[in-house]
Amino acid sequence: IPLSDEPLRLFGKHVLVTAGPTHEPIDPVRYIANRSSGKQGFAIAAAAAEAGARVTLVAGPVHLPTPPGVDRVDVESALEMAEAVDAALPADVAVMVAAVADWRVVRSADQKLKKDGGAIAPLELTENPDILAGLAHGLRRPPLVVGFAAETQDVIRYAQAKRVRKGADWIVANDVSGDVMGGDANTVHIVMADEVVSLPEMPKGDVARALVERIADALAE
Ligand code: CTP
Ligand code: CA
């Protein structure tokens, strides 16, 4: 077995990653979802584990294998994800890659909704808690909190505003104007307080390793 000569730069660190979409139930057979594949978050969990970290991966509903050496907690909804994130603390780093649904149905039905031939029943929605902001402003805040932001325009400006509003240290801004969602490549800008590092388009695995290197640098400081 060829052993890697890479130093285990995150050995002894606990890295918490959220990934994938969330599914917000409407009734037992229907839900609200989004197009997140979970690939980028899973790649980050894999890269952190390769760097020697203990990794907790809180995963929404995705069809992806668990990366080697990663502790995976499967969840469906945003509320379940928030609970699993809380249960995984403390952590040295949190990387919140999940595309959390912004809204959930106020009262999901216990039984399958029927057409009934009449008017369409409206869905009453309410906003989900912001898991990243809750973590970043919370009592057990990890020393390094990294968020993601998928944007289709004004990518860096929106990301910088999100970084400040949510209390994250970094926001990895994801340009999703192309076919990033579900694809294997990504173009990101790491937006920090006083610096923006723009990476060229590259496979999601390479984005993950580049981000993990920066995380290791930051923890070493
Ligand atoms: N996020 C979260 N909980 C939410 C919504 C978002 O933890 N309820 C996190 C995501 O995991 C991501 C970051 O916040 O790391 C940014 O998500 P995004 O959807 O871009 O931010 P929103 O505040 O929901 O803004 P928008 O209206 O652009 O969707
Ligand atoms: Ca959102």
Is residue 119 predicted with pLDDT exceeding 90?
no
Q: Which residues line ligand 1 (CB under 6 A)?
A: 18, 78, 96, 98, 100, 102, 128, 130-132, 147-150, 162
Q: Which residue has the higher pLDDT, 1 or 23?
A: 23
**Concatenated DSSP letters for 130-176?**
-HHHHHHTSTT--SEEEEEEEESSSHHHHHHHHHHHHT-SEEEEEE-
User: For residue 183, what pLDDT band results from cuts at 50, 70 and 90?
Assistant: confident
Dmax (CA) for the chain in angstroms is 67
* pTM score of the predicted model: 0.95
CB atoms inside a 10 Å sphere around CB 133: 17
Residues 6+ apart with CB under 8 A from 6: 50, 51
**Concatenated DSSP letters for 65-117?**
PPPTTEEEEE--SHHHHHHHHHHH---SEEEE--B--SEEESS--SS----TT
219 C-alpha to center of ligand 2: Å? 28
Is residue 179 predicted with pLDDT exceeding 70?
no
Do strands 185-186 and 202-203 pair parallel, antiparallel, or not at all (unpaired)?
Answer: antiparallel
- Confidence (pLDDT) at 51: 98
88 C-alpha to center of ligand 2: Å? 22
Mean pLDDT calculated for residue range 46-71: 98
Is residue 4 predicted with pLDDT exceeding 70?
no
Mean pLDDT calculated for residue range 98-111: 96
Residues 6+ apart with CB under 8 A from 95: 15, 16, 17, 18, 41, 44, 48, 146, 148, 211, 215
Do strands 54-59 and 70-74 pair parallel, antiparallel, or not at all (unpaired)?
Answer: parallel
- Confidence (pLDDT) at 84: 98
- Confidence (pLDDT) at 193: 96
Is residue 1 predicted with pLDDT exceeding 80?
no
Is residue 23 predicted with pLDDT exceeding 90?
yes
- Confidence (pLDDT) at 86: 98
Q: What is the DSSP letter of 214?
A: H
- Confidence (pLDDT) at 118: 80
**Does the annotation flag 162 for ligand binding?**
yes
Cα 86 to Cα 80: distance, rounded to the nearest angstrom:
10
- Confidence (pLDDT) at 112: 93
> Per residue, what are the HEC states of 20-49?
CECCEEEECCEEECCCCCCHHHHHHHHHHH
100 C-alpha to center of ligand 1: Å? 6
Residue 23 is encoded by which pair of tokens? 């599914």
Is residue 83 predicted with pLDDT exceeding 80?
yes
What is the tens place of the pLDDT at every residue in 161-176? 999 999 999 999 988 8
- Confidence (pLDDT) at 3: 62
